[in-house]
């Protein structure tokens, strides 16, 4: 009688979860990364995302849209060109609108990404840091940590000159909420229904 050997199947739950390149937590419930691929979807599921902020003008791939649909994740797209000579007024307006989505806790947990997670994502996070009253040297250090050798002086200049006062005036109805179990961490909620809303990508 032959010996029967049972071969254990691979436990899917034990599979290695692969985050997108340049993935990091920005703040509680705010994440950043490069463009996710299907191999990253199981990892993204663990974040329980409610929204994705996509900073490129190209259409979102169908396989990524299908993943968002399956997880009930909203896509907010702000079409910022990846070139170094992007129009500053367009960049400023897009970053301003993206910030309104980013600081609205109703959209959290949220993932910010562009193509490489360096320049456009770095500009948005840098402007968020200014809103959080970070000193400029720390803002630049964080940008350069993700951009590496591809750091752009134009991005740093844009972050330096970004008008946070204008954003605060625009969001005059922002209220501060304390989130979490006994946490005293201050979070922002954008509540005015009359203010301009970002474009919600349709599936």
Contacts for 77-85: CB closer than 8 Å, 24+ residues apart? 77/199, 77/201, 78/53, 78/54, 78/198, 78/199, 79/55, 80/55, 80/56, 80/114, 80/120, 81/57, 82/56, 82/114, 82/115, 82/119, 82/120, 84/152, 84/154
pLDDT of residue 73: 96
Is residue 56 annotated as part of the catalytic site, yes or no? no
Question: How do the pLDDT tens digits run along the chain, 203 residues long?
Answer: 444 444 444 455 557 899 999 999 999 999 999 999 999 999 999 999 999 999 998 999 999 999 999 999 999 999 887 666 666 677 788 888 899 899 888 999 999 999 888 888 999 999 999 888 899 999 999 988 988 877 778 788 888 888 777 666 656 544 444 344 334 455 554 444 444 444 444 44
β-strand 110-113 against 51-54: which pairing, if any?
parallel
Q: Give domain status of residue 103, yes or no.
A: yes
Q: Give domain status of residue 13, yes or no.
A: no
Could you give the CA distance from residue 200 to residue 157 in angstroms, rounded to a whole number? 29
Q: Give domain status of residue 190, yes or no.
A: no
Q: Kindly report the CATH number assigned to the domain that includes residue 97.
A: 3.90.190.10
Q: Give domain status of residue 201, yes or no.
A: no
Q: Give domain status of residue 165, yes or no.
A: yes
Q: Give domain status of residue 124, yes or no.
A: yes
Could you give the CA distance from residue 29 to residue 153 in angstroms, rounded to a whole number? 29
Q: Give domain status of residue 170, yes or no.
A: yes
Could you give the CA distance from residue 44 to residue 183 in angstroms, rounded to a whole number? 25
Q: Which domain holds residue 131?
A: 22-179
pLDDT of residue 158: 85
From the list 29, 114, 123, 127, the catalytic residue is: 114
Q: Which two tokens stand for residue 170?
A: 């625009």
Domains: count for the chain: 1
């Amino acid at each position: 009688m032959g010996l029967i050997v049972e071969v254990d199947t691979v436990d899917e739950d034990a599979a290695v979860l692969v985050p997108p390149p340049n993935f990091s937590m920005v703040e509680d419930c705010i994440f950043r990364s490069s463009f996710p691929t299907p191999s990253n979807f199981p990892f993204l599921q663990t974040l329980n995302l409610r929204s994705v902020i996509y900073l490129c003008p190209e259409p979102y791939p169908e396989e990524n849209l299908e993943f968002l649909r399956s997880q009930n994740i909203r896509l907010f797209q702000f079409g910022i060109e990846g070139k170094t000579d992007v129009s500053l007024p367009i960049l400023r307006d897009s970053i301003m609108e993206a910030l309104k989505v980013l600081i609205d806790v109703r959209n959290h947990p949220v993932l910010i990404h562009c193509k490489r997670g360096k320049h456009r994502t770095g500009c948005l996070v840098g402007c968020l840091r200014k809103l959080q009253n970070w000193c400029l040297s720390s803002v630049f250090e964080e940008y350069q940590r993700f951009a590496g050798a591809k750091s752009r002086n134009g991005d740093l200049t844009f972050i330096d000159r970004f008008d946070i006062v204008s954003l605060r005036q625009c969001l005059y109805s922002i209220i501060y909420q304390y989130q979490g179990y006994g946490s005293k961490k201050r979070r922002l909620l954008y509540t005015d229904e009359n203010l301009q809303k970002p474009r919600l990508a349709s599936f």
